[in-house]
Structure 1
Amino acid sequence: MRTGQTQRTATAWQRLTAWLRRHAPTSYASILPPATEAEIEEAEDHLGRRCGYGFPPEPVTLWSLADRHRSVPVGCRSRQVAE
């Protein structure tokens, strides 16, 4: 179940990706599919063991919509967008 803030995060992400799809298709193509629930749980467990707390709900919402970015060709070379 989403809270108001996580719903706003999801809505903002949907608006951003719609804009990217239309105006920046290369950037849109670099968005990886959502992280699985198991991947998110593993990351939260790891953080909990190391630091004693979990992630805020907003990044978890983003990861459930898209998991990072991949390298995309920029000009004549490939550049790492984000990891």
Structure 2
Amino acid sequence: MTKLRERKNNRKAVLRVLYGAVERNRPEVSGSALHDQLDLPDEDLSAACAYLADDGLISVDWTSHRTPATVSLTHEGLRLMEEEDERKDQG
């Protein structure tokens, strides 16, 4: 079982990858690409995606094995990441 800090870091990493994809005009990221970029175990990636989806920040199409097939930021997720980006630019 991963620790709370690791789970939070995993969720932030997922959001960063998805936001980076949006900046490159790629609204969706395949689960396998996300897995490759983050190098997370399937269960940790799935847990991070499930949490973020439950919060309404991402949309996930799941495989039959409950791993992400495709993942994208929702409007709320995009707004959150843009706000974070603006705070970094101002700080």
TM category, shorter: 0.3 to 0.5
**Structure of greater Rg:** 1
| TM-score, normalization by structure 1 | 0.38
Q: Point out the structure with the larger strand share.
A: 2
Q: Normalised by the size of structure 2, how large is the TM-score?
A: 0.35
